[in-house]
Amino acid sequence: LEVVNVLDGHNNVVNITGSTNFAASFDSRSLSIYDTFSQGSGTIEFWGYFYDSPYVNQILFNNNTQIFHNGSFYWRYDDIDVFMVPGLFGQWVHFEIIWSGNDVDVYINGTKEIDSFWSDSDTTITRIDFMSFDNSSFYVDGVGFSWDSDYDVGDNINSHGKEVITELENNGWTISLIDPYTSIGISGEFNSHKKILNITDDTTTTGASIYDLFQEQTSGIIEWYYKVTSTSGTVAIRIYDGGTECITLILSNAGNDQWYSGGYNFIKPAVADTWQHWKIDFDTSTDTYDIYVDGVLEVDDADFRNVGVALDKIQFESYTANADYSFYLDAISYSWDEPIEFFAGSYNQHSNKEALIDFVIEIPFNYYDHEVMQINVDSRQFTSILANMSFSVYNFTSSSWFLIDNDKYTSETLVEYDVIDFEGIGGLFDSSGNMRFKYYGFNSSEFNLKIDQLNITIYFKTVLEYEITLKLLGTWKYRFKIDVGLGGESIQSWVYFNVVIQQPNFEGISESKYTTKWVLTSVETTGYTVVSYSDDITPSSSWDLSGVSQRDFYKHPSVVDNYLLDNYTAQGSTYESPAQWGDFGFTKGAGNTVGELETNNGANYAIIDAGYTTAPESLLGTIKPNEDIITNWNEGDAAPHWSKIDEAPADMDGDGGKIIETGNGVDDKWNFDTIVIPAGSFISRMHIYIRMRIGDNSQTTTVYITTSLAGVGDYYDDGITLWTWQDQAFSGLSFSQADLDSFWMNVEPYWVGGLQGYIGIEAVYVEVYTTQEAYSVDYIATWNLPEFVLEEDFYYDYRTTFAIDTDLDIYNWDTTVWLELESNTGVGWYTGSYALTDPYIDDGTDRVRIRFQSDLTTTDFDMELDQIVVKYIDHYLISKKHNNSISGYVYMQTNITETIGLGSSEYLIPTTLNEGDYFIVDLQTTSDNALLKLYDDSVL
């Protein structure tokens, strides 16, 4: 068991080499490293590096579930071996196991490979072992558990190490170089600087660099804080216009900070272990820039290294010739960026603002568990100078700050806030009754916050009860006023009501916006009885409904039984598909051919073209001269010339040969060997390296290099008096295999002012970089269903013209999470259906949303849709009628409010009930919430 410094880009990895022969029992442990815990759900992630020898490396969970390889990788549970992926040997493989109870998902290199289970129906995992047998090495790195306090899902996928914050890469920063013995990470704190970028270089052969692309700017300011551990730890800061380097700073270069434009120019002595604030003020109209350090103008109108039109990139890098040093960056900011409110969550939190106030106060309250009706907040505050200051209250339910005020005040100002949202008030208190407030502000100069008053008033629900016995019949009156702190509630004028014994016709009126409850009680008085009213209309008469006409309406079939069963008509089933292409939203891909999507008929497909993406650029290899075309340089070694200069990059001058020429305009030209470009890739960059020397009038002699490819070639600098490697990169290219196969290079001396010199060349080679083309689809379809329908099923039938991993998902409108319906690879048709339930239909708009996504592939392909449709039962037509065929009875529908008039068909006029008359309303229903209201001349 040992720790290996570097293995294929991973630093400090564990090597496990067990000597015991593999045993037949799958839970036999040879050399094992393990961890114990007890978790019923969670995520485990790790990297593994395996060699192709069956069974020699195993990852064991509890005692019986394991990952092992035998030519391919398998998941074993309950003595069942489940294939996952073909063998991935001699490389790092990333595993992610996500489980809840006995439901397990296994991801390999970011792709979900299987749904599986634990052995013995386990629901709790208590141990993981990494095991090795038969003297076979097994490497492990980046083990992470989701229940660790410092764990973030996917942390160990980051090839630059867990310490790199994802905000950098998520917000446009690109780590362009990270070699062994270098690192790019985040350090915790230094003085007032927190979460600072740390670039460490412990090698003299490679380096580390990071860059940011921003919107093109013709002028502006870029500023940052910078600290380095050594005055000889060289740091290069480069600002570009596309591929042209316009501004170059070389800091801590042999004790000096310098700027470069055709030569090195002094800025100031380098300083170690001290934060410095650097500012570059540039203007492309003059191709100049000013350099400020800690507010002091150190260089005025420094010249651009090369002419630029609009700058769009800044790069920070360590120098390959130096080692054993670190440099730190903080608060990198641009003058053209809009400020971020509070700068919350942003990487450069203070954006070069040095003075900061971040003050939190908690205020305890008694009776906070009462029913709070309103909260009033008053803060009288101001700052000593004009400074942005926010005032916020914390919501413990959502775990977030709510902004009350964000402004600048230099005189005492009252900031008020009233909370009357009854539902949300409870979230403003923690479990102990504390409210939390925050003052947050910043400025480039020191300042003070002055708070004269912070007053929080809480209003609880108040119940007012007043009881009085009304012993006399007649007319009574009342009025009231409640004097409270928010203005009070009152009725200023008298309200009259009558008290009679015959019926409880008390009418209470309150104009309060809060609930008023009237409770009246009475005691029966001797001599009074309850009078019953009766109707002397003969029983043979039938009742009519007056003022109600027949009407039609629509309902879902699921509720039709609530209505008269002899008065509805079914409208049948129908289909609804998304409109092409208005209902489609394409992230990758585009609609090509409109098809018929309602039926699965094997024809009239809708066709979607795959979208195109370019993958990151990578070094393919090097090419060297292999044949002479022109051999006019005759003052050095004789022909063949190509064999004198075809040394490998690390060999420099292995055969001792060289070619030399003193004549102006004399050509020497060679063909080059070639390398195979991977399918789907093209040449995007070439880097020419030439080991050369210029003597005799070296200041006026240069070499002009041309090649068979347009844009690849240039003049090489003069003044090179020693044998030196010269190099130049040419980016933004787009060349093919045929272009590379016919590549040649021509060299030609060039004199300035007729001053003759000579040029010698010892070695030439060219690095070739390629970029891969990739195709994929990623799009959604969202379409509306008609109102008053009962949705049933979603049907689909689709395929891709090239075998690629493709997913079909449906959107859950309640949880905003996608549900995977299909995950398939192949060119066959994938046909299926899904029974729609409420979460997958938007309540407000009756929308359904699906998504297709695929992996990347170098082959252009199409997706064909034969059927994308929702089948539903249309609405039912119901005729609203009242059945009075039975004498003395009225049948009415339920679920809608009815206002009817009762009259006698014998008289054809509304019935007037006099003393001695009565009527009976017999309400028969199976509902538990039926409500009958009887009115007499609109009086309840």
Give, for 665, the enclosing helix (H) or strand (E).
Answer: none
Six-digit token string for 498: 């009558």
> Taking every pair of C-alpha atoms in the chain, what is the biggest distance, in angstroms?
144
Smallest Cα–Cα separation from 119: which of 127, 130, 109, 111? Answer: 127
Cα separation, 284 vs 311, in Å, equals 8
Q: Tell me, what's the pLDDT at 620?
A: 93
- Bridge partners for 96 per DSSP: 45, 107
Q: Which of 185-199, 481-495, 625-639 has the highest mean pLDDT?
A: 625-639
Range with lowest mean pLDDT among 85-89, 211-215, 360-364, 711-715:
711-715
Q: Tell me, what's the pLDDT at 654?
A: 57
Six-digit token string for 91: 């490389």
Range with lowest mean pLDDT among 216-225, 313-322, 626-635:
313-322
Q: Tell me, what's the pLDDT at 297?
A: 93
- Bridge partners for 891 per DSSP: 883
Strand positions, DSSP E, 26-132: 31-39, 41-49, 57-61, 65-69, 72-77, 80-86, 92-100, 103-108, 111-116, 125-132
Q: Which of 180-184, 496-500, 849-853 has the highest mean pLDDT?
A: 849-853
CA atoms within 13 A on the CB side of 34: 19
Smallest Cα–Cα separation from 660: which of 639, 633, 642, 641? Answer: 633
Measured at the alpha carbon of residue 879, what is the angle toward residues 870 and 541, in degrees to the nearest 5?
A: 155
Q: Is the per-residue pLDDT at 410 higher than 50?
A: yes
Q: Is the per-residue pLDDT at 781 higher than 90?
A: yes
pLDDT tens, 866-920? Answer: 999 998 776 666 555 444 444 444 445 555 555 555 554 443 445 555 555 555 6
Q: Is the per-residue pLDDT at 323 higher than 80?
A: no
Under DSSP, is residue 656 helix (H, G, I), strand (E, B) or coil? coil
Q: Tell me, what's the pLDDT at 200?
A: 80
Domains of the chain in sequence order: 2-157 (2.60.120.200), 166-338 (2.60.120.560), 355-460 (2.60.120.260), 462-523 (no CATH), 532-553+878-940 (no CATH), 573-610+777-873 (2.60.120.260), 618-773 (2.60.120.260)
What band does 505 get if pLDDT is binned at 50, 70 and 90?
very low
Q: Is the per-residue pLDDT at 419 higher than 60?
A: yes
Q: Tell me, what's the pLDDT at 127?
A: 94
DSSP per residue over 867-888, as a string? EEEEEEE--EEEEE--B--STT
Cα separation, 89 vs 322, in Å, equals 35
pLDDT tens, 706-727? Answer: 999 998 988 766 566 678 888 8
Mean pLDDT of 793-818: 94
> CA dist 868 to 218, 223, 783, 794, 851, Å?
50, 54, 11, 8, 11
Give the strands of the sheet with 701-707, arranged side by side: 625-631, 668-672, 744-751, 701-707, 715-716
Residue found under tokens 């909370």:
419
With a pLDDT cut of 90, the percent of the chain lying above it is: 32
Q: Is the per-residue pLDDT at 152 higher than 80?
A: no
Q: Is the per-residue pLDDT at 159 higher than 50?
A: no
pLDDT tens, 336-381? Answer: 775 443 333 333 334 444 567 888 999 988 766 777 778 889 999 9
Smallest Cα–Cα separation from 252: which of 236, 276, 275? Answer: 236
Taking the alpha carbons of 548, 554, 559, 565 in that order, is the dihedral positive or negative?
positive
pLDDT tens, 649-703? Answer: 766 655 668 899 888 889 999 999 999 998 778 899 999 999 888 776 656 678 8
pLDDT tens, 723-774? Answer: 888 889 999 898 999 999 999 999 998 877 666 777 889 899 999 999 887 8
Q: Which of 166-175, 283-292, 787-796, 906-915 has the highest mean pLDDT?
A: 283-292
Q: 863 versus 157: which is more confidently predicted?
A: 863
Contact status, residue 381 vs residue 409, Cβ threshold 8 Å:
yes
Q: Is the per-residue pLDDT at 621 higher than 90?
A: yes
**pLDDT mean across residues, the chain:** 78
Q: Is the per-residue pLDDT at 23 higher than 60?
A: no
Mean pLDDT of 523-546: 38
Q: Tell me, what's the pLDDT at 340?
A: 40
Measured at the alpha carbon of residue 3, what is the angle toward residues 176 and 228, in degrees to the nearest 5?
A: 40
Mean pLDDT of 443-467: 79
Q: Tell me, what's the pLDDT at 502?
A: 45
- DSSP state, 246? E
Residue found under tokens 């700050």:
401
Mean pLDDT of 32-47: 91
Range with lowest mean pLDDT among 467-476, 620-629, 740-749, 766-775:
467-476
Under DSSP, is residue 297 helix (H, G, I), strand (E, B) or coil? strand
| Distance, CA of 341 to chain centre | 19
Range with lowest mean pLDDT among 194-203, 403-412, 591-600, 661-670:
194-203
What's the pTM? 0.31
Q: 104 versus 6: which is more confidently predicted?
A: 104
Range with lowest mean pLDDT among 88-97, 650-659, 823-832:
650-659
Contact status, residue 316 vs residue 237, Cβ threshold 8 Å:
yes
Contacts of 565 (CB under 8 A, 6+ apart): none
Q: Is the per-residue pLDDT at 471 higher than 50?
A: yes
